Amino acid sequence: MTVSGEAVHRLQQELTAAIDEADIQRGVALARDALSQGISPLDLIQDVIRPVMKDFGEAFARLDIFLPELMGASVVVKAMQSQVLEPAIRQSGGNSVNQGTVVIGTCQGDIHDIGKNMVSLMLQVNGFKVIDLGTNVSPQTFLDTARREEADIIALSSLLTPSLPYMKDLLKRLEGLGERDRYMVIAGGAALSEEYSKRAGFDGYSEDAITAVEICKNLMKQRKGAQA
Ligand code: B12
């Protein structure tokens, strides 16, 4: 279902109010209502949660709000995610064909994980084996895990600019070891742009979880094609 601009605007206002009041139950009820109106969990994330969180991030950068408020915002959104969105996505998904193995994590120095968790979940429900390393993951840990798990794809999330060098560091290490072609490396998160990720040499970039899955599927097709 395509969500009307008016409905999106109303939901954004409601979520902003729930966060302003640090009202977890209001946020959870909002997510339930939206789903019962036929809005998909992914539309809710992309069209409502992400822009509202971006606004809170900008207010934080202007010093209109402070870290406790930002943490309050993430508590409301995490409750919506764990209580409503994740169960709904798990229920709707179900591709049991193994599409490939992805090692995912948030890069060193960065503990943001709301968006990364959505990408991880969407990959799982679309048939990928996902090893989620959590947050603050060093390049060496990505590398060791990818080797141990014989991963196809390494997926890096970063919302903090100071973490970007660690993403590039992983590419450098792979090149230095002669293993750059062994793994496809994709990246996402608010610290990056498509242009940045192209320049850095990643194999894929996306700013949402659905496109992340499409990119991984396409990369796997290319890989299987190359092996055939
Ligand atoms: C919530 C939040 C927090 C929470 C995080 C809670 C958590 N468990 O994640 C808390 C309060 C802990 C926090 C802390 C900090 N934060 Co903060 N935070 C945010 C905020 C407001 C929202 C992030 C979010 O959850 N968005 C919603 C999700 C759904 O969207 P998303 O993360 O973008 O993910 C989507 C896509 O990007 C994509 N995606 C994500 N990962 C991946 C990976 C791959 C492989 C792919 C393909 C796609 C993909 O798909 C996702 C789903 O749609 C952002 C603002 C913003 N613009 O994002 C600031 C922001 C990221 N934070 C910021 C800062 C500065 C900090 C602090 C340093 C503040 C401080 N002084 O301590 C600390 C850093 C702590 C640390 N070491 O990491 C800055 C970063 C600035 C910069 N460029 O470096 C931002 C941009 C705010 C701002 N405008 O100043 N923060």
C-alpha distances out from residue 23 to 26, 39, 88, 125, Å: 5, 22, 21, 30
Q: Range with the lowest mean pLDDT among 3-12, 80-89, 93-102, 209-218?
A: 93-102
What's the pLDDT score for residue 158?
97
Neighbours of 12 (CB within 10 A): 16
List CB contacts of 204: < 8 A, sequence separation 6 or more: 184, 186, 187, 197, 212, 215, 216, 218, 219
List CB contacts of 123: < 8 A, sequence separation 6 or more: 102, 104, 130, 155, 212, 213, 216
Amino acid of residue 85:
L
Report the separation in Å between the CA atom of 81 and the middle of ligand 1, taken as the mean of its atom positions.
15
pTM, two decimals, is 0.95
pLDDT in tens, 158-171: 999 999 999 999 99
Could you tell me if 180 and 174 are in contact, meaning their C-beta atoms sit under 8 angstroms apart? yes
CA distance 87 to 160: 28
CA distance 210 to 206: 9
- Among the residues of 81-160, which ranges form H helices? 86-92, 114-125, 139-149
CA distance 195 to 49: 24
Ligand 1 atom closest to 46 (CA): 53
Report the separation in Å between the CA atom of 151 and the middle of ligand 1, taken as the mean of its atom positions.
26
* CB of 116 sitting under 6 A from ligand 1: yes
Which CATH architecture is the domain 5-92 placed in? Orthogonal Bundle (1.10)
Q: What are the residues facing 155 on neighbouring strands?
A: 104, 186
What's the pLDDT score for residue 1?
56
Which CATH architecture is the domain 100-227 placed in? 3-Layer(aba) Sandwich (3.40)
Domain ranges of the chain: 5-92, 100-227
Could you tell me if 32 and 79 are in contact, meaning their C-beta atoms sit under 8 angstroms apart? no
pLDDT in tens, 164-195: 999 999 999 999 999 999 999 999 999 999 99
Task: Name the pLDDT band for 95 (thresholds 50, 70, 90).
Answer: low
Q: Nearest residue CA, atom 23 of ligand 1?
A: 53
Q: Residue holding tokens 């991880």?
A: 120
* CB of 111 sitting under 6 A from ligand 1: yes
Q: Residue 129, SS3?
A: strand
Ligand 1 atom closest to 77 (CA): 25
Strand extents, DSSP E, the chain: 100-106, 128-132, 153-157, 184-188, 204-205
